[in-house]
Copies of this chain bind each other. A is one copy, B any other.
Amino acid sequence: MGTASKRVTINDVARTVGVSRQTVSRALNDKGEIDVGTKQRVLDAARELGYRPSRFARGLVRQDTTTIGLVIPDLLNPFFTEVAAGALEAARARGWHVIVYDTAGSADEERGTLEVVVSQVDAVVGYFSLAEADLDAHLSGMPAVLIGREHQTPRFSSIRVEGAAGVREAVDHLVSKGHREIGMLDHAGRSEPSIRRAWFTDAMNAHGLAADAVGNALQSVDGGTEALTGLLTEHPELTAVFTFNDIIAIGALRAARRLGRVVPDDLAVVGFDGLQLGTVVDPALTSVALDTRRVGALAIEQAGRLLTGSTPLPSEELLVNAVLLVRESA
């Protein structure tokens, strides 16, 4: 008995019970127009046979199941995890499903992922490194929402982070505590300086301070440690430092301790992102926090709108403001 393979279909169930497919369908989907007795018999038989409806056949006839692809560079990076959690939550609230793809930060992997994504989901959301033309070529018209990066063509939507005010808050906070020599650890990835650095420069200038003590850090804890060590040898006068993100800031924290600088008394540290991770280090990280959950949620929301053809959210609403979150490190 029970040799192997060959899927159990709705017809098999119907046959063993002695009714039609439609009756089985009615029983399984809780529709009316069915006798309670037969319904029970159908349910029992279905269980007995180990019948599970084909999601393909079902999806083909009813158009209601939507699946969204979430593309992130690295699941082990807590920043992306927080965004992912927000996206998952928002999707669940709508009854949607999320397939997660980790591109490992590689452009090739990303291309390969897109190739696959196209045939598996209804819309895609996430962090991409490819140029828009390249993306468009691989996506063949599928709705896509870019996160953490501004879209250039109307082909795409994007969730943007507005941090000028938050960074301004941070600098204000530092200045009000008497800091004048404030440095920054920018990221070392791209060739041009980041927008966050521009925000920092503006905030500093508003106080009549120069923002010229800037180091570059690789996007890792070790990168932050190394970069701050370098920056402090070059600029020993610094009493505070603002970093591109929390990961780098945590590395900076470690460097400070190793150099014998007590945080926040000898050196204040302010990160960016406001990750929960910042609460596990000691002292807890002060940071320009953005609502990562909301980032993920907005992306899902917009993907849904693009999907259903309803009016998409305007650019102004696809914005997440960052605000200063004072903990212990500054």
Contacts and interface: CB of A to CB of B under 8 A. Distances in A.
Given A52-B142, A140-B52, A76 B118 contact: no
Interface in A241-280: 250, 253-254, 257, 276-277, 279-280
A61 to B, nearest CB: 8
Interface string A56-69: 11111000010100
Interface stretch (A98-106, A208-216, A297-305): A98-106
Contact of A82 (B76, B102, B253): B76
Interface in A45-78: 46-47, 50-60, 65, 67, 75-76, 78
A52 B257 CA distance: 55
Query: By CB atoms of chain B within 10 A, which of A75, A98, A101, A257 has the most?
Result: A75
Interface stretch (A18-26, A33-41, A83-91, A315-323): A83-91
A4 interface: yes
B280 A250 contact: yes
A67 to B, nearest CB: 8
A314 interface: no
B75 A102 contact: no
Contact of A88 (B50, B102, B277): B102
Given A55-B120, A281-B281, A81 B88 contact: no
A102 B92 contact: yes
A47 B140 contact: yes
A5 interface: yes
A264 B60 CA distance: 61
A268 to B, nearest CB: 17
Nearest to A118: B52
Nearest to A284: B254
A60 B54 contact: yes
Contact of A76 (B141, B276, B281): B276
Contact of A280 (B58, B60, B84, B221): B221
A32 interface: no
Interface in A107-127: 116, 118-121
Nearest to A50: B141
A88 B60 contact: no
A236 interface: no
A97 interface: yes
**Interchain residue pairs A-B with the least CB separation, the first 3:** A50-B141, A56-B59, A56-B60
